Structure 1
Amino acid sequence: MTDVIEFPALKEAQDKLDAKNKELFAVLDEAGPSYDMKLVKSIAGDTAAKVAWIQAKNAEIDEVGKEVEGYRQVAKAAGRRNAAGKEKGSEPDERKAGRRDDRDEQVQAKSFGEQFVASNAFKGKHGSIGPEATLDLELKTLMQTSAGWLPETNRTGRVVDFATRPIQVLDFIPTTTTAQAAVVYMEETTFTNNAAETAEAGTYPESALALTEVSSPVRKVSTFIPITDEQLEDVDQARGYVDNRLRFMLRQRMDLQVLVGNGTAPNLRGINNIAGIQTQAKGADPTPDAFYKAMVKVRVTGRAVPDLHVMHPNDWMDIRLLRTADGVYIWGNPSEAGPERLWGLPVAQSDAQTEGTGLTGDTSFLELSMRRGIVVQVSNSHGTYFIEGKQAVRADVRAAFIVYRPTAWSTVTGI
């Protein structure tokens, strides 16, 4: 977890956001579950005037929310810089031993396609026989391509991607690296503060602290695809193919795992299944109210600052289409795009998230720790591929996912 450096501008913006959220929540609470603007007495005017006030206040919240996000990114960057400076002065011998040399860095700078066509697996191929080659890549860029290629004749070169779930949450999660098979850290499980005013020569009250070691194992996500020798001969097309889709497949699966992985080996344990996460039931509340109450739980019980909502697109649709009792849209007219934000926080719409259950929390208490990036191996030794003129291209990535403080996140159920 990266430390967040606190500074006055961030606190001032966060306080402003909290104040505006409370104003809006109070008005929506007055209107009740049916959003009957006639019940709102704190704002003068008819329904249109009151909805206009709500929309204006929501726009203010969005602007301040973006300002807070910007300050938090600066603070996180400062925290990473400080942490890097500390590590530089006291780097463990094991890490020094495992550090990659300049040649490794030069290899990483190339794309997978460039590495592949320059590898022994491609250059050393004689007929349908070729050696294996291992290519190590970092997991970062979203890629898209199609399922296979023939030599191009009069094609445009455009590929229409298969309709599949995009990467929707992974990019919100801080990413680090690890050289171990598990991420081990210490969790403060006892904090008893008996500090009190003490008279002269009086006995000091005793407090207590206790730490517990916690381990999050590295898991592997993998896949492979068969490619014929003929396709590999079309170098440009093969490069685009393997550059894009294999990476996307692995990232798409990890995007799902960090949300709903059940933790049973070899699965990662996703946020929804972390023990100790808080829960806010919607009950008779409007959905926005339930999310606001979950944010308060994250603040009060989790002692964290929520910065992200996650929900299924169908659940966000219900919020976007909310109307007052006399039919006025609250989140903006249908002619407007409307913000994908709620209470000043961005909304990640993910159809990997279980419909009817949302999430609210502080991403600074999440971490995706990469044991290594994508490793790809190419061989024709799989099954009968040698006599069929095929190559098996397999790819995998190893990572651990950690939720450092479960109470910094809350589910919102029944939405």
Structure 2
Amino acid sequence: MRPPIRGLFHARKRSVMYNDSDRIIEFPALKQAQEALDEKRKALATVFSEAGPDYDMSKVKSLQGDSTAKVEEIRKMNDEIIERKKKLDELQIVGRAAAASKQDEEAAERGDGAKGGGRDTERKGGRRLSLGESFAESQAFKGYKPGSGVGPSAHLDISLKTLMETPVGWDSEDVRTGRLELMPMRPSVHVASYFPSTTTGMSAVVYMEETTYTNAAAETFEANQADSQGAYPESALALTERQEPVRKIATFLPVTDEQFEDEPRAKGYVENRLPFMIQQRLDSQLLVGNGTAPNLRGTENVVGINTQALGGDSIPDAIYKAARKIRDTGFAEPSVCFIAPSKWEGVRLLKTADGQYIWGHPSMVGPFTIWGIPVVETTAVTATKAVLGDYTNFAELAMRRGIDVQVSNSHSDYFVKGKLAIRADMRCAALHYRPLAFAAVTGL
């Protein structure tokens, strides 16, 4: 008996021995495909070995270029491995078919109907036997004697592969779950919720600002006809009309009729996401809008607010100095401080010289305040700035109209193409009544 072959492949004379039920045929192309795959895998393994556990691309010497170029080359190598593995799988299928064909030929030459390794699967009239026919012709049936107890056993090689494999049979049925994973987005309530909200029926919010306040009040002598020491000192007041126009924030989304007809959740999904887009844009405009039509004027661009450069200070020190300016010049108390998460991280991780966290141990939730001022982490603020101020008393979000969502097929050629235009918009004005009640810390 031929000794068993270890493994699937056996090399001899630069060819491949394909083992199927102790039947061996030579298949050179299979070995070449395997060697090509192994070579590419080894090259990729070398790259990761050079990079180390930290995946430091600067340590990789087997590839040229900067980190970006090396990562791109790794991606290409991986794609090539996938392609070579696919080719190897195809050749293995061919190898199995060739082995089966070889065994059938040998069985036909012997004329005994036996198929390699003592298996009892036979052919009759050029076709493969059915399950019943195979059993009737097997040693298990022929050798069984009634009353003798356990009879001989036989292996029936009944293959359904060519009938039921995925390419010619059924694909598996996959049922989509009800989960809808949304894109990561900045929450929309972080900024707007700190602006007191009112309503307006006008196209602009007009108000008066006291721009001159000269207080000459002083102690005065009793009137004396001989001199002017009894004259009252003259003070001065002046008012200037200010206004902030109502601006519109809007967007629309094209959707086909079929989306709403075939997917019950599509309508609710769109009608929720569109207002969120509007709210998110408002969030940004309230802090960084430049005031040039059609933009709102955000806190950072309000003329006359206090500024405090970071300079050589720490972020907590600079924020305190900005708050002190608000108190000194604006005679107001900051109600909130907006800062980017990347900058608040540096504050939250501040440590003493002996390694103690100043803003609380990592196991604690930690305070979201600084110098008693509530802190809101948001990417709506400019990353190099922190904005703080008395929004409670000196800011306002005047709503001309809340978010309105409408659907129509009258846009462009949407009617004849079976499409819908879903639009959402809002109109509002952002007001900062006392600029000195706000401040921006710059240079973070």
TM range (shorter): 0.5 to 0.7
AA matched with 1:178: T
Matched, 1:359 2:387: yes
Q: Which residue of 1 is the match for residue 427 of structure 2?
A: 398
Shift of 1:215: 1.1
Shift of 1:339: 1.1
Shift of 1:238: 4.2
Q: Partners of 2:407 and 2:443 in 1: how far apart?
A: 47
Deviations 1:340-362 (A, max 9, x none): 11111111111121112111210
Matched, 1:184 2:184: no
Q: Which residue of 1 is the match for residue 375 of structure 2?
A: 347
Q: Partners of 1:310 and 1:374 in 2: how far apart?
A: 25
Q: Partners of 1:302 and 1:345 in 2: how far apart?
A: 16
Matched, 1:285 2:306: no
Report the aligned-residue RMSD: 1.7
Quick check: which one's helix share is greater? 1
Shift of 1:338: 0.9
Q: Partners of 1:166 and 1:391 in 2: how far apart?
A: 28
Shift of 1:308: 0.7
Alignment of 1:6-405 (within 5 A): 154-167=175-188, 168-201=190-223, 202-233=230-261, 237-363=265-391, 364-405=393-434
Q: Partners of 2:361 and 2:406 in 1: how far apart?
A: 52
Q: Partners of 1:376 and 1:338 in 2: how far apart?
A: 40
Contact 2:271-2:405 at 8 Å conserved across structures: no
Shift of 1:395: 1.2
Structure 2-normalised TM-score? 0.57
Q: In structure 1, the residue corresponding to 2:249 is in which secondary structure?
A: strand
Q: Partners of 1:375 and 1:235 in 2: how far apart?
A: 23
Contact 2:305-2:435 at 8 Å conserved across structures: yes
Q: Which residue of 2 is the match for residue 68 of structure 1?
A: none
Deviations 1:68-121 (A, max 9, x none): xxxxxxxxxxxxxxxxxxxxxxxxxxxxxxxxxxxxxxxxxxxxxxxxxxxxxx
Shift of 1:278: 0.7
Q: Partners of 2:395 and 2:345 in 1: how far apart?
A: 27
Q: In structure 2, the residue corresponding to 1:185 is in which secondary structure?
A: strand
Q: Partners of 2:245 and 2:441 in 1: how far apart?
A: 28
Deviations 1:207-236 (A, max 9, x none): 111000011111110000122222333685
Q: Partners of 1:155 and 1:174 in 2: how far apart?
A: 43
Higher relative contact order (CA 8 A, sep 6+): 1
Deviates more, 1:208-217 or 1:198-207: 198-207
The structure-2 alpha-carbon separation of the partners of 1:235 and 1:175, relative to structure 1 and needing over 3 Å to count, comes to farther
Q: Which has the larger radius of gyration?
A: 2
Contact 2:308-2:440 at 8 Å conserved across structures: yes
Matched pairs, number: 263
Q: Partners of 2:428 and 2:374 in 1: how far apart?
A: 26
AA matched with 1:175: S
AA matched with 2:197: T
Structure 1-normalised TM-score? 0.61
Q: Partners of 2:274 and 2:431 in 1: how far apart?
A: 25
Shift of 1:205: 1.9
Q: Partners of 1:272 and 1:381 in 2: how far apart?
A: 40
Q: In structure 2, the residue corresponding to 1:240 is in which secondary structure?
A: helix
AA matched with 1:413: T
Q: In structure 2, the residue corresponding to 1:289 is in which secondary structure?
A: helix
AA matched with 1:161: L
Deviations 1:359-414 (A, max 9, x none): 12100211111111122232111222112211111111111111111111111112
Identical aligned pairs, as a percentage? Answer: 59
Q: Partners of 1:221 and 1:174 in 2: how far apart?
A: 19
- Contiguous gaps of at least 5 residues in structure 1: 1-152
Q: Partners of 2:243 and 2:377 in 1: how far apart?
A: 30
Q: In structure 2, the residue corresponding to 1:376 is in which secondary structure?
A: strand
Shift of 1:160: 1.5
Q: Which residue of 2 is the match for residue 79 of structure 1?
A: none
Q: Partners of 1:272 and 1:350 in 2: how far apart?
A: 14
Q: Which residue of 1 is the match for residue 436 of structure 2?
A: 407
